Amino acid sequence: CGEPALRMSRQDMLVLSEPFCNALVGRFAYSKPPMEVIRKFVISLGLKGDYLVGLLDFSHVLLLPALEENYTRLFVRQTWFVQGSPMAISKWSLDFKANKEVSIAPVWVTFSDLPLPFFRKQQLAKLAGVLGRLLRVDAATTDLRRPSIARVLVEVDVPTKPIKRICIRD
């Protein structure tokens, strides 16, 4: 194309994007409040630890919480109202484009008929890893109030075909 260029492999780009694994995008479909209002709103949520709120473009803001629990809290709700304006939350990705919907969403998944040793977070994380990234384990699962099923919140690529069963073998 006759212009200077920088070529990088997809793998190098993925490594560069690792610090942004908890980054979220807030999209305002109608009118975006001023950034000061958005920042005050995020402060009012009482998030723990550090976080960044930055302007991506005229209708999108970047939300980058340092702690995964804040990431999960923001992501699970999916829509927040900032001064009456709905802000839809989606996961940031390397391929983020303002006019393109992101297909990753938090989904509660239920595992039934699990042996009791699989109710530990480490084992549930392995099971959930087959589907996506584990975000949270349901409290009733953690403290065995309901050992008939285990519930976990997982980041799932929604357009992919749902997995109905996972076989556990020794």
Please, which pLDDT band fits residue 1 given cuts at 50, 70 and 90? Answer: low
The whole model's pTM is what?
Answer: 0.77
d(CA 154, CA 132) in angstroms, rounded, equals 6
DSSP code, position 70: H
Give tens-digit pLDDT for 30-51: 889 999 999 999 999 999 999 9
d(CA 56, CA 71) in angstroms, rounded, equals 18
At which residue do the structure tokens 């998030």 appear? 47
Residue 29 near residue 96, CB atoms below 8 Å: no
